[in-house]
Structure 1
Amino acid sequence: MTWLDELTWLDGLRTAALVGTGRHAAPSPPAGLTVRPPEGLSREEEVLDQAAMVDVVIRASRRPAQASAATLPLPASPDTEPQAAREAARLLELLLTQPPVGLELRNQLVVDWLQLAEESRRRVPHGLLPAMFALAETKVAVFKRLEPAIGTRGRWLQSLSKTSVPTPADESPEPGIELASAELKRLRRSDPAAARERLATHWGDLSARERANQLALLATNLGSDDEELLERALDDKAKSVREVATGLLDRLPGSLRAGRMSARLLPLLHLKGLLNKRIDVDLPPDPDEQALRDGIPSNQRSGEPDRLARLDIIIRGAPLEVWTSVSGRGPASTVELLKPEPRVLDGLITAAVSRKDLEWIRALLTVRTDVRLLGCLPVGEREQWLEGYIRNGIDQPLTLVPLLRDLPQPWGLGLADALLGLIAGKNGGQLAAMLAQVLPTALPREAAEQCRRLLERSDEDAARRRVLRDAVQYQAFRQSLTEAFQ
């Protein structure tokens, strides 16, 4: 077949496709192809049949690009780990090509597969590496788990790939002026003193934005040794720098500023009552020059001064021991005296969380359910608290959603049982729908049977059924993966 025959054939097919087979029939293939269309095809089928034939001809006629030996990649080294067993490989191929679950659950199951492969010292079959890399290009969770399960051949293919795999955000290089901040951040993790000294040395050369951004990095490994630089920042001309400094000093209850805040707070607190004791809290006076330096706002040019905002700042900056010194009681009893003061409790919560003071955090949880407080508890204690909270009855179940979303997975069986009981109750479908992204993967394997029983009940709530079905499917497939790697 000559190139002229090929061009004539292609032009005829384009015309038939453009104007329609009713006006222009598909041309006959060139004789040089030595193939003929099947008999009995309609005009439309002839066009489609020959279009497929054109694709084959074009692909078959391509010639590989010429390359010198110097530009050819070195062959891959042999893999030292065996590939996954036949059943495990089959399950991975199913997930990558025809997933039996939703895409989000599929992605998690691929991550589970890679983790099991790492634990059993197995690798992804070579034929599935391209599909695995295609998924990892858009799913960071999958990318993070590629090593070491992709093996030597996988790393070789990665080095040849022109498609970049997403890099986790905290490891990606930051352009321009942010590069210095990224370097300081890494140094702060490994050598806090050296990072602080570097910042202090270059302080005068930095813009206000750079000073604020880099000062905020002291939050990592913050300690009393940082106080001198933070005190220096309180005198900075830029408000943004001063605000960062006050926020960090709030986390240092032994600092000089905390002592100054204590001196301002103590005269405002009064223990009242003989039998029914309470703590009355006065509002602070107008700030003097030293109070302004410590971050207490001045009067507005118009309107009444916001004395509650000043009180909030004083509470957040003062040591928590001021309150127990006034009440003569421990944190739990002191918090009980402050239940009628919600604004004061807000400030105490902020202070307790910023300092990770577990005694005060536990005390405040007895009067206020707050996600910030809960997040500071050790994981096991956090689960126990949530389980008890659910079993004791809860008026607004939807308040659990942010608390549960941030809980490490999988959850304990006790918490899972309590939550599934809540979901099975009246209006539990709305809670299930709001937890749809986390519930299937967060429930422990032992909870799958309870989900199956709930599904067997007559239920018109489509959202609840969908979430429970996803949980059952995920756990079943996860169990199959576990068995395939044994």
Structure 2
Amino acid sequence: MTWLPDLRTAALVGTARHPAPPPPVELAVRPPEGQSSEESLLDQAALADSVTRAARACSTLDAADLPEPAPPDDAPEASGEASRLLDLLLTQPPVGLELRSQLVTDWLQAAGAYGRRVPHRLLPLLLSLADTKPGVAKHLNPAIGTRGRWLQDLKAGTSKPGQGMAEDWTVLKSADATTELERLRRTDPAAARGQLGTHWEILGARERAAHLATFGTNLQDDDEELLELALDDKAKTVREVAAGLLDRLPASARAGRMAARLLPLLRIKGVLRKQFEIDLPPGPDAAALRDGIQPDPRSGEPDRLGRLDAVVRGAPLDVWTTVSGRGPAATVALLKGETRVFETILTTAAQRADLGWVRALLEVRTDLRLLSILPSDEREDTLVRHIRAGTSNPFALATPLRELPKPWGPDLADAVLGQIAAKNGGQLAALLADILPAALPPEAAGQARRLLERSDDDAARRRVLRDAVQYQSFRQSLTDAFQ
């Protein structure tokens, strides 16, 4: 085969005097159509380098270790313009790196929707990007096709294997065991509970506390038995973890005991203007101490407000509606003057993700913990209402805005762009800089463009709006290329 010598000759004397030879049939390579002689030479030089490196690597392997050839890839390749746009994003992105990753994800989703695959020549660059960008990696299939999955398997087979988890959980180091238990809580809470319960007696206090804290992931009513056991633990740290987790289980036996302590402290007073009257709890008996209510100090005044907080956190929220004879919203209205109790109830409702109380509390207070619990569509409507009513600092809403699925609905996009266009809107724009372009729906592109065209010396606002306009323009090009 004279391909390599002919290729070297063409590189030395130029393609005008010695055209680049065609790739050998044995390599089964089909060069792209419409290439100039110079482009063909450069492409084949890269191919020759890859083949030479692969041959050297394979020369040290046994035949049994060689990978299977790539299977046929019958999926149709993306069109010329769509391929060109992906090539541009991977090699010379016209936008920032974060927007580049989002646009690559958009490309992959469009390719999947239209039944097209990534050109084979771009697969190595795409898979390298996916190695560092989980958002891209999540959307690789089906757009990478059979050849892309083959390459993924090759990379997985040649990558260094991870340490993996020990078969015997008890031989793991403490931090590793906690990590494994937390992973197991996400996928199989019952198995994690059984694992910890089996080894409970042989673990140290620090390990028991750390491992038990993982139950905060996927906390279930079935966890109550082990948590009740932990209330009797010798270590204070373990008891505190157990009490904190039981605070989130309003149907537990401990919640019932806390309800029995809270009910006698509550009553409604007033005729025309009703409100709660709340007494402070007495000193704790042995049962209350077991449930996590703090004992009296050896000297000084007892923290009776702290005791009340503990009782309120542990009791079901239904105790309040039972005493008031009203629903959550009307009950919250009766608590406005009880600032500390109100805060404790708010924290409790957020921890338990009690939607009825969350909605009632959001009528009085815009709180990020409450907003994050609402379903995404309802969260959008609530944010729009609060932004337009001006009832909260818009900068404090940056976090829930970031957590919403993208793109946003037109109403929320309009409300946010209105805040960005306001006097100090550049600060909000800066807080949302990395997500705003992708969060705006196509309907908002015109509004973003008009805001950008205004004379404005706020550099942060202009930069974010420019990115949004560029992103929407490129995304429209992607859509057009696949149609």
**TM category, shorter:** 0.7 to 0.9
- Deviation track 1:277-297 (CA, whole Å, cap 9, x = no partner) reads 221223323222211111112
Q: Does 1:465 align with 2:462?
A: yes
Report how far residue 221 of structure 1 moved: 4.7
Q: Does 1:429 align with 2:426?
A: yes
Report how far residue 92 of structure 1 moved: 0.5
- 2:477 partner SS: helix
Aligned to 1:82: 76
- Structure 1 gaps of 5+ residues are 1-33, 36-58
The RMSD of aligned alpha carbons is 3.0
Rg comparison, structure with higher value: 1
Q: Sort the Cα spacing of 1:145 and 1:173 in 2 relative to 1 into closer, same or farther, 3 A.
A: farther
Aligned to 2:126: 132
Among candidates 330, 344, 348, match of residue 345 of structure 2: 348
Q: Sort the Cα spacing of 1:182 and 1:463 in 2 relative to 1 into closer, same or farther, 3 A.
A: closer
In the alignment, is the contact (CA less than 8 A) between 2:105 and 2:139 conserved in 1?
yes
Q: Sort the Cα spacing of 1:452 and 1:155 in 2 relative to 1 into closer, same or farther, 3 A.
A: same
Q: Which runs of 4+ in 1 moved over 6 A?
A: 162-167
Report how far residue 206 of structure 1 moved: 2.9
Report how far residue 358 of structure 1 moved: 1.4
In the alignment, the residues of structure 2 paired with residue 352 and residue 166 of structure 1 have an alpha-carbon distance, to the nearest angstrom, of: 46
In the alignment, the residues of structure 2 paired with residue 315 and residue 137 of structure 1 have an alpha-carbon distance, to the nearest angstrom, of: 47
In the alignment, the residues of structure 1 paired with residue 452 and residue 93 of structure 2 have an alpha-carbon distance, to the nearest angstrom, of: 22
Q: Sort the Cα spacing of 1:173 and 1:352 in 2 relative to 1 into closer, same or farther, 3 A.
A: farther
- 1:280 partner SS: strand
Report how far residue 223 of structure 1 moved: 3.5
Among candidates 401, 413, 420, match of residue 416 of structure 1: 413
- 2:224 partner SS: helix
In the alignment, is the contact (CA less than 8 A) between 2:407 and 2:439 conserved in 1?
yes
Equivalent position amino acid for 1:405 in 2: R
Alignment size in residue pairs: 427
In the alignment, the residues of structure 2 paired with residue 115 and residue 203 of structure 1 have an alpha-carbon distance, to the nearest angstrom, of: 47
- 1:376 partner SS: coil
Q: Sort the Cα spacing of 1:172 and 1:389 in 2 relative to 1 into closer, same or farther, 3 A.
A: farther
Q: Sort the Cα spacing of 1:358 and 1:123 in 2 relative to 1 into closer, same or farther, 3 A.
A: same
Written as runs of structure 1 = structure 2, the 5 A alignment for 1:201-212 is 201-212=198-209
Q: Sort the Cα spacing of 1:303 and 1:122 in 2 relative to 1 into closer, same or farther, 3 A.
A: farther
In the alignment, is the contact (CA less than 8 A) between 1:137 and 1:164 conserved in 2?
no
Equivalent position amino acid for 1:427 in 2: N
Q: Sort the Cα spacing of 1:191 and 1:158 in 2 relative to 1 into closer, same or farther, 3 A.
A: closer
- Structure 2 gaps of 5+ residues are 1-11, 14-48, 167-171
Instruction: Compare 69-78 and 250-259 and name the one that shifted more.
Output: 69-78
Written as runs of structure 1 = structure 2, the 5 A alignment for 1:80-119 is 80-119=74-113
In the alignment, the residues of structure 1 paired with residue 382 and residue 338 of structure 2 have an alpha-carbon distance, to the nearest angstrom, of: 24
TM-score, reference length from structure 2: 0.80
In the alignment, the residues of structure 2 paired with residue 165 and residue 113 of structure 1 have an alpha-carbon distance, to the nearest angstrom, of: 27
Equivalent position amino acid for 1:232 in 2: L
Aligned to 2:8: none
Report how far residue 192 of structure 1 moved: 4.5
Q: Does 1:373 align with 2:370?
A: yes
- Deviation track 1:166-193 (CA, whole Å, cap 9, x = no partner) reads 99xxx99567346655665566556554
Aligned to 1:306: 303
In the alignment, the residues of structure 1 paired with residue 431 and residue 180 of structure 2 have an alpha-carbon distance, to the nearest angstrom, of: 39
In the alignment, is the contact (CA less than 8 A) between 2:165 and 2:180 conserved in 1?
no
Aligned to 1:454: 451
In the alignment, the residues of structure 2 paired with residue 372 and residue 174 of structure 1 have an alpha-carbon distance, to the nearest angstrom, of: 34
Q: Sort the Cα spacing of 1:394 and 1:300 in 2 relative to 1 into closer, same or farther, 3 A.
A: same
TM-score, reference length from structure 1: 0.80
- Deviation track 1:109-166 (CA, whole Å, cap 9, x = no partner) reads 1111122222223222111122112222222222222233222222333344489889
Aligned to 1:290: 287
In the alignment, the residues of structure 2 paired with residue 101 and residue 384 of structure 1 have an alpha-carbon distance, to the nearest angstrom, of: 31
Q: Does 1:248 align with 2:242?
A: no
Written as runs of structure 1 = structure 2, the 5 A alignment for 1:224-303 is 224-301=221-298, 303=300
- Deviation track 1:415-468 (CA, whole Å, cap 9, x = no partner) reads 111111121121111111111122111111110011111112111211111111
Instruction: Compare 407-416 and 127-136 and name the one that shifted more.
Output: 127-136
Among candidates 357, 361, 365, match of residue 364 of structure 1: 361
In the alignment, is the contact (CA less than 8 A) between 1:137 and 1:165 conserved in 2?
no
Equivalent position amino acid for 1:311 in 2: L
Equivalent position amino acid for 1:442 in 2: A
Percent identity (aligned):
65
In the alignment, is the contact (CA less than 8 A) between 1:137 and 1:166 conserved in 2?
no
In the alignment, the residues of structure 1 paired with residue 127 and residue 189 of structure 2 have an alpha-carbon distance, to the nearest angstrom, of: 38
Aligned to 2:328: 331
In the alignment, the residues of structure 1 paired with residue 477 and residue 303 of structure 2 have an alpha-carbon distance, to the nearest angstrom, of: 62
- 2:132 partner SS: coil
- Deviation track 1:307-329 (CA, whole Å, cap 9, x = no partner) reads 33222221111011111222222
In the alignment, the residues of structure 1 paired with residue 410 and residue 160 of structure 2 have an alpha-carbon distance, to the nearest angstrom, of: 35
